[in-house]
A and B are shown apart, each in its own frame.
Chain A
């Protein structure tokens, strides 16, 4: 029997009992639509996380002084000896370090004219903007010379412009941070909210030396201190390996014996964000499994109706056998019916799933993502459900004894 003929007669059989076919399909429609929406949501979330990671600097390692124990008592994070500018210099010469930046941060009150604003201030160098791929949209960034000499200049984020300068062009204007006057030389490109919910544009950058010498003040015992170092790993280096090598290098440099506890931390931001998203992924996977269960239940509904259909049409099956249909012909007929039923349900489900994902993405403010793979997987899943749950009823039909089927009342 030709496939097109089987297909046509399957469609005809489904149309003969339209309401029943639709109700049976409903299970598949809901199942496929929910599988699709859940997969799209998971994809969207993953895509967003990837975006965040690349915005944070995908290949950046961050060094921070760690906890220290003295007399069995932990002194807490940051208690250990801080890093210094000479660390930055040494790290810059490592083969895998593409760029190295040091930072010192504090909270400040910034004043411009009559307006004041509490914000965070970071003293850093020109490498920082390279590592964070953060260009100036107006004015310019620090020159190495300004960093070295401790010039009284500042580069500010968009939120500072809005809150302190109220529409006027801030480049060239004066600004006081904790009573230290600095001149605004550049405005940074807008970054928006971080994945932690803080405003990444609410920030003032001044040269590292300026921050240490005039705003924050140097460390008690360690002059030229920095509180954090970022190392951008060269593209051709493996990040994980560089992380290990950097840890080993710093351990040696800080004179930590084998087996001793590190008094610093090396981490990459990507790990951090991924750990945060792990819970989200687990939830997404759980929801997808639930959707899969819905599809499975839909499949059981299809099997049930196909069994009813086989019983109802026993005489027809007997007649077809009397006219020369082989068992395989009958099998193909019912399998095709189940598969068409599920396939059509799948198509409707895909349309609903597409609409559902679009609405959910709008409502939940996450990235809408609908890859062709998801569509194909959904369609494939519905066809497989049809074949799987159609097999048993079809086999039952194919195994009927012709005379018993023909005589069935």
Chain B
């Protein structure tokens, strides 16, 4: 299955946090390859290093040692501005707490990443509408986050992640703040997006949520404990 260049690759990645005089080893030498088009769930108890790995993949943080590659490019050699462009063009983030701007309506929230797009000229308005329609919120574009339910807010956040036409979506506990029914809806949306070819990395500690993914990677104490694939 994993043929050709992996879209995400971790090579012997470690991450050590210093908290006071204590050193916390969040990752202790992780090797991982994710092929284009995969839907992988990273699981594990809290403190196992799954969120740390997610932040490293998202170029939001730097590893203590080892190398991360996105589409074959090593992140350690890239400048801060190039990393910002990478987050803008290649990656899309979905957070547990949605992280929408409270004063902006749905459409304005979805347009936000397009503000920082440098290399292409797009009709931000049209693109944002398209993305909101894709997540089923075509009727609520001028609603503010406070006027939307949790599930709807997460849909807006997913539309925002899609606005830059990313090849990878990084979802960190996307259903953590939602009820079971809404969680299933959101997961089905992610499955649908995965079917269009977008690679999806999902961090979760809920088994039902992880079951939507075709690959489950378990972390424990900063190392991969198990890595299982399910036939498509």
Contact = CB atoms under 8 A, between A and B. Distances in A.
Interface of A: 1, 5, 12, 16, 315-316, 319-329, 401-403, 406
Given A316-B101, A402-B60, A322 B81 contact: no
Nearest to A402: B60
Nearest to B170: A322
Nearest to A323: B113
19 contacts: A1-B116, A316-B101, A319-B99, A322-B60, A323-B164, A324-B116, A324-B164, A325-B84, A325-B115, A325-B116, A326-B84, A327-B80, A327-B81, A327-B84, A329-B116, A401-B61, A402-B60, A403-B60, A406-B99
B164 A16 contact: no
Contacts of A321: 60, 84, 87
B85 interface: yes
Contacts of B60: 321-322, 402-403, 406
A16 B115 CA distance: 20
Interface string B109-145: 0001101110000000000000000000000000000
Report, nearest first, the 8 A-B pairs whose CB atoms are least far apart.
A324-B88, A323-B113, A403-B60, A324-B116, A326-B84, A403-B61, A402-B60, A324-B87
B81 A323 contact: no
A323 B101 contact: no
Interface in B52-81: 55, 58, 60-61, 80-81
Nearest to A327: B80
Contacts of B50: none
A401 B58 CA distance: 13
Interface of B: 55, 58, 60-61, 80-81, 84-85, 87-89, 93, 99, 101, 103, 112-113, 115-117, 160, 164
Contact of A323 (B61, B103, B116): B116
B87 A322 contact: yes
A4 to B, nearest CB: 11
B80 A323 contact: no
A282 B138 CA distance: 68
Contacts of B85: 324, 326
A343 B85 CA distance: 32
A1 B115 contact: yes
Contact of B87 (A315, A323, A327, A401): A323
A327 B84 CA distance: 8
Contacts of A316: 101
Nearest to A325: B116
Contacts of B160: 323
Contacts of B61: 401-403
Given A320-B112, A406-B99, 7 more contacts: A1-B115, A1-B116, A322-B58, A323-B116, A323-B164, A326-B85, A328-B81
B195 to A, nearest CB: 24
Nearest to B61: A403
A247 B93 CA distance: 88
A320 B104 CA distance: 14
Contacts of B115: 1, 5, 325, 329
Contact of B89 (A320, A324, A402): A324
A326 B61 CA distance: 15
A327 B80 CA distance: 8
Nearest to A398: B80
A144 to B, nearest CB: 85
Contacts of A315: 99
A331 to B, nearest CB: 12
A323 B99 CA distance: 11
A402 B113 CA distance: 15
Nearest to A404: B61
A324 B116 CA distance: 6
A401 B112 CA distance: 20
Given A5-B115, A323-B113, A403 B81 contact: no
Nearest to A5: B115
B142 to A, nearest CB: 15
Identify which of B84, B103, B112, B116 gathers the most chain A CB atoms within 10 Å of its CB. B84
Nearest to A328: B81
A325 B59 CA distance: 13
Given A1-B116, A403-B61, A324 B99 contact: no
Contacts of A327: 80-81, 84
B87 A16 contact: no
Contacts of A16: 103
Nearest to B161: A323
Given A316-B101, A327-B81, A322 B116 contact: no
A217 to B, nearest CB: 92
A256 B60 CA distance: 91
Contacts of A322: 58, 60, 87, 93
B103 to A, nearest CB: 6
A403 B113 contact: no
B103 A326 contact: no
Contacts of A406: 60, 99
A319 B80 CA distance: 16
Given A315-B99, A316-B101, A323 B112 contact: yes
Identify which of A1, A5, A16, A322 gathers the most chain B CB atoms within 10 Å of its CB. A322
Contacts of B117: 324
Nearest to A319: B99
Given A403-B60, A406-B60, A324 B103 contact: no
A204 B84 CA distance: 87
A325 B164 CA distance: 12
Contacts of A403: 55, 60-61
